[in-house]
Structure 1
Amino acid sequence: MHEVIHVRRHDELTATELDALAHLFDSEYQNEYGAWNPDEPYGYSPADTHVMAFHSRELIAHAGFQRRLISVGDREILVAGTGGVLVDKRSRGTGIGGRTLRSAQEVMRDEAGVDFGFLGCREEVVPFYKSAGWVQIYATERCLSRLDQISVVVSEGGPNLVCSAKRVASQWPQGDIDLRGTPW
């Protein structure tokens, strides 16, 4: 499969790209969560950078991230909070998800100026992220609820993963994590 990867700042997305994103996300989540909203995607924090893989004109994969200063223990860390990682059902198993995620990591390292990529996910997709170079960390995480953006949610054991950007993943500091907002 030959694809073309596009990287766009959120405020530079074209109408065609926004429509393609809505189609991709709605095909997966609309029945359960309603229509995708680019500025409030299902209550999660929106991406400020989108990495999109197209085959011909069809969007087949996406990974987004948002730069944010979070706290880990008593330190402040600039992360690329990663979310909206999704591959079209017909393209799963082709490797396009990993290629898109690795492209996002390149942007994090080369352009975003963040210390690490950071994400939370379901246990069953941890192997996918690990295969793309992400490292699982173990810490208590605090964030705002994606359901009301007010309530504080505290969770232990994640799973949470980080990837190298300006700093290598093995340099992730010890301590509780405060996302200082909603998750991605």
Structure 2
Amino acid sequence: MKIIAEIDIPPETHAAIQLLRNAAFQDHQVNRSYFKQLPHSRMLTYSGEQLIGHMGLDYRVIRVGDAVLKILGVIDFCVSEHARGQGIGSSMLATLSAYAKTRDVDFLMLMSEHTHFYCRHGFQQVTAHHSWLRLHEHQNYGIGFEPLNELLIQPVSGLEWPSGHIDWLGYMF
């Protein structure tokens, strides 16, 4: 497993990420290695030379109520179908948690319908009103504002998650 800055990823790795991502997200196929926006870095897991695990990492601030929080967001987390059930995803989440604890991060954050899996790994489901920049195919089309219940967070710095409206201060991953 390695974490690499987005700017340092070679074209052949982007091609492998695109194949893995598109296989995992059948309803969201794209001709690139990311869905909405380039992440800041990526965690990649290999079996020999074969890419079997990927997660994009987006480091930024968001606003929740009156609090400004530093989050490390997880984007397009996927494990190849033939490697699922072998603890790869769990290992990647444990590595991410350990990585975040040595950095200036308040919370890990992701959006997913698979709440049971993430809650087993220390994430908590948060329901709140959200606002974010709506992006589609490299164009923005306004601000979204609605309640969502697919947000999962994991405390890293010891802060408690505040209550209130969640302003993504940008796009939603």
TM-score by length of 1: 0.84
Out of 48, 54, 63, the residue aligned to residue 55 of structure 2 is 63
Q: What residue number does 1:90 align with?
A: 82
Are residues 80 and 153 of structure 1, via their aligned partners in 2, closer, same or farther at CA, if it must alter by over 3 Å?
A: same
Q: What residue number does 2:120 align with?
A: 131
Q: What residue number does 1:13 align with?
A: 9
Q: Which runs of 5+ in 1 are unaligned?
A: none
Q: Percent identity?
A: 22
Q: Secondary structure at the match of 1:132?
A: coil
Are residues 35 and 137 of structure 1, via their aligned partners in 2, closer, same or farther at CA, if it must alter by over 3 Å?
A: same
**Contact conserved, 1:20 with 1:59, CA < 8 A, in 2?**
yes
Q: Give the Cα–Cα distance (whole angstroms) in 1 for the partners of residues 142 and 43 of structure 2.
A: 30
CA RMSD of aligned residues (A): 1.8
Q: Give the Cα–Cα distance (whole angstroms) in 1 for the partners of residues 44 and 28 of structure 2.
A: 23
Q: What residue number does 1:116 align with?
A: 107
Q: Match for 1:158: what amino acid?
A: N
Q: Secondary structure at the match of 1:20?
A: helix
Q: What residue number does 1:154 align with?
A: 145
Out of 94, 97, 104, the residue aligned to residue 105 of structure 1 is 97
Q: Deviations over 1:8-44 (max 9, x none)?
A: 111122334223212211333477533124xxx222x
Q: Give the Cα–Cα distance (whole angstroms) in 2 for the partners of residues 74 and 9 of structure 1.
A: 31
> Larger helix proportion, structure 1 or 2?
1
Out of 5, 30, 39, the residue aligned to residue 34 of structure 1 is 30
Question: What is the Cα deviation at residue 149 of structure 1?
Answer: 2.3
Number of residues of Structure 1 aligned to a counterpart in Structure 2: 171
Q: Match for 1:8: what amino acid?
A: I
Mean Cα deviation higher: 150-159 or 51-60: 150-159
Q: Give the Cα–Cα distance (whole angstroms) in 2 for the partners of residues 26 and 163 of structure 1.
A: 27
**Contact conserved, 2:14 with 2:32, CA < 8 A, in 1?**
no
Q: Which runs of 5+ in 2 are unaligned?
A: none
> Larger strand proportion, structure 1 or 2?
2
Are residues 15 and 80 of structure 1, via their aligned partners in 2, closer, same or farther at CA, if it must alter by over 3 Å?
A: same
**Contact conserved, 1:61 with 1:86, CA < 8 A, in 2?**
yes
Q: Secondary structure at the match of 1:141?
A: strand
Question: What is the Cα deviation at residue 117 of structure 1?
Answer: 0.8
Any runs of at least 4 consecutive aligned residues in structure 1 with deviations exceeding 3 A, and if so which?
Answer: 28-32
Q: What residue number does 2:130 align with?
A: 141
